[in-house]
Amino acid sequence: MAKRPLIIDTDCGIDDAQAIMMALAAPDIRVLAVTCVFGNTSVENVCQNVLRVLDVCERQEIPVFRGSGGPLVGASSQARDHFGTDGLGDVFKDQDPQWEQKIQKEHAVNAMIRLVNENQKQVSLVALGPLTNLALAVRLDPGFPQKLKDLFIMGGNMEGKGNVSLCAEFNFAMDAESAYVVLEDFLCPTYLASWEFACRNALTWDFFNQLVSQNAPAAVFMRTVTSRCWAFSQEASRNKRDVHFGPGFVSYDAYAMAACIDGSVVTESIECPVRVELQGSMSRGMVVLDRTDELKKSHNVFVLTKCDAEKFRRLLVESVRQPRR
């Protein structure tokens, strides 16, 4: 059986790295490219982080493309530092002096459009960071979304609860205009793994500790990059403080990737039109779910609500048994 082609658009932090590893371990997935966008850290750091992940998994043949370094409109917001200033916990002191030579010369948006045109109606796109590259793609090629097989997004919310502002989730808050454009103009089947979806399907810290205690290179890598920031999250969980990672182990981006790899991981979802709020002084970047057809939109989005925890755990376990072809 032919492998399903996949493009990963990422602002590669720790949970992005886990999601990328999950895709690389999936036996029926072929990663065509990784496209990079600002978010957890600068786009330059994101490129280097992706190269590190591919090195650990011995998948250096996968092309990496540099994309947008800031939002569609206005100046960049200050990135959070929960994952460290470099996105991977600030645990690596060495830097590959040749990293720029390993990044493709073609811009990420152009590469995304080209690869989808070469594989029309076949490519799944998984977006793990701010949606700037995707918004630019549809502006350059208005037919781009219809050429995709489907789109999976980690971002947004479903109850107006935010993690970087009162009402907005990080990825959408970092570039609200791009989130608006994507959820208005991408008419392909679209699946939204929101912040609340991830938090409410959290796994235990005991599982996390078992996951990263293996000796495979990918497990050692995850143990290293999580050694500082997730130790704080575990302590906060034990003290029942409300933190970004919620009451357990939550690898946010992995939920969107798991839904793409195996649709049966998702056991419940809400199908309805959505819109991203741009004007509210307290709600900019918030996702509004239209369950009463007030917006009169023709396109629905699948907002994920529940997942099969056992299947999700298995995908995570496979993700750290790298390298694997």
Q: Which of 129, 256, 139, 252 is nearest to 186 (CA)?
A: 139
283: pLDDT strictly greater than 50:
yes
Residue 64, classed as helix, strand or coil, is strand
236: pLDDT strictly greater than 80:
no
Contact yes or no for 248/204 (Cβ under 8 A): yes
Contact yes or no for 181/72 (Cβ under 8 A): yes
304: pLDDT strictly greater than 70:
yes
Across 281-292, average pLDDT = 94
Q: Where do runs of H (alpha helix) occur along 78-216?
A: 99-102, 108-118, 132-140, 144-147, 170-174, 176-185, 195-200, 205-212
pLDDT grade for 162, boundaries at 50, 70 and 90: confident
Whole-angstrom Cα distance, residue 155 to residue 168? Answer: 9
Determine the pLDDT at residue 90. Answer: 79
Q: Which domains does the chain have, with CATH numbers?
A: 4-203+252-319 (3.90.245.10)
pLDDT in tens, 100-154: 999 999 999 999 999 999 999 999 999 999 999 999 999 999 999 999 999 999 9
pLDDT grade for 285, boundaries at 50, 70 and 90: very high
Burial class (CB in 10 A: 0-12, 13-18, 19+), 238: exposed
